[in-house]
């Protein structure tokens, strides 16, 4: 089974802009491509998992989100760093649009997106990692059975304080996705026989 890294999108791979609503606003951090290349070279399958409640709130349509993801992956591919799969949750229990107003199993920290990726791509969660900038990403990783890492970009600074308040002091916290990826790759190399 494959070893994967699950990445949050906004605030982790892309500069946080609130509700990213147009492909022209896609801006990977300057270190994102290097982090993804490093993970690919180490043999990880790269998966993006992203809550997109802007769809339920009526801020963006699914076809617009698809265009955003196409641009993101095209920009990353130009740097040799395209991701292998992208999953999103369009739901929110307080959504404005009836068809998306739901309590679902795919919205992080629930594991629906991760379970779908595991099934579709033969991923071993116990050998995999999650990198994100929010407590929900950290809990998603724990709930999935993967090793979670928090980054300080995006909402990460304030969220790292929340981890302590929640009694999760053991969390691995890094300045950014590149530092987290370097740690993961080094850890895996040390654990190999």
What DSSP string describes 24-41? GG--B-TTHHHHHHHHHH
Question: What pLDDT sits at residue 193?
Answer: 43
**What residues form DSSP beta bridges with 147?**
129
Quick one: which of 139, 131, 152 has its CA closest to 48?
Answer: 131
**Computed from CA positions of residues 39, 17, 56, 155, in that sequence, does the dihedral angle turn out positive or negative?**
positive
- Strand order of the β-sheet with 45-51 is 85-89, 45-51, 4-7, 129-132, 147-151, 172-174
pLDDT at 92: 83
Element (H, E) at 49: strand 45-51
Question: Can you give the C-alpha Rg of the chain in angstroms?
Answer: 16
Set 10, 110, 133, 137: catalytic member: 10
Q: Which of 8, 110, 133, 137 is catalytic?
A: 8
Measured from the Cβ of residue 89, the count of other Cβ atoms closer than 10 Å reads 22
Please compute the mean of the pLDDT values over residues 114-132 and round it to a whole number: 98
Spell out a b/e string for 153-177, using b for 16 or more CB atoms within 10 Å of the CB, else e. Answer: bbbbeebbeebeeeebeebbbbebb
Architecture of the structural domain at 4-191: 3-Layer(aba) Sandwich (3.40)
Give the domain ranges of the chain.
4-191
User: Which of 56-60, 82-86, 120-124, 144-148 has the lowest average pLDDT?
Assistant: 56-60
Do residues 91 and 100 make contact, with C-beta atoms less than 8 angstroms apart?
Answer: yes
Give the pLDDT score at 143. Answer: 97
Mean pLDDT, to the nearest integer, of 43-55? 95
Characterize the bridge pairing of strands 45-51 and 147-151: unpaired
Mean pLDDT along residues 147-163: 92
49 close to 141: Cβ distance less than 8 angstroms: no
| 10 annotated active-site | yes
Measure the CA–CA gap between 109 and 42, rounded to whole angstroms.
27
Average pLDDT over residues 36-64: 95
The vertex-91 CA angle with 89 and 93, nearest 5°, equals 140
């Amino acid at each position: 089974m494959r070893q994967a890294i699950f990445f949050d999108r906004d605030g982790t791979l892309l500069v946080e802009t609130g509700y990213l609503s147009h492909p022209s606003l896609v801006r990977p951090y300057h270190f994102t491509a290097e982090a993804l290349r490093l993970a690919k070279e180490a043999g990880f399958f790269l998966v993006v998992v992203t809550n997109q409640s802007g769809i339920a709130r009526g801020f963006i349509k699914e076809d617009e989100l698809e265009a955003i993801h196409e641009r993101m992956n095209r920009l990353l591919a130009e740097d040799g760093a395209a991701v292998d799969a992208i999953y999103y949750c369009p739901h929110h229990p307080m959504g404005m649009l009836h068809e998306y107003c739901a309590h679902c199993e795919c919205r992080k920290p629930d594991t629906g997106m991760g379970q779908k990726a595991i099934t579709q791509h033969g991923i071993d969660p116990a050998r995999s990692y999650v990198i994100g900038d929010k407590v929900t990403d950290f809990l998603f990783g724990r709930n999935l059975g993967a090793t979670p890492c928090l980054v300080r970009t995006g909402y990460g600074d304030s969220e790292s304080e929340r981890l302590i308040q929640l009694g999760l002091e053991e969390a691995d916290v890094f300045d950014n996705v590149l530092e987290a990826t370097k740690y993961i790759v080094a850890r895996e190399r040390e654990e190999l026989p």
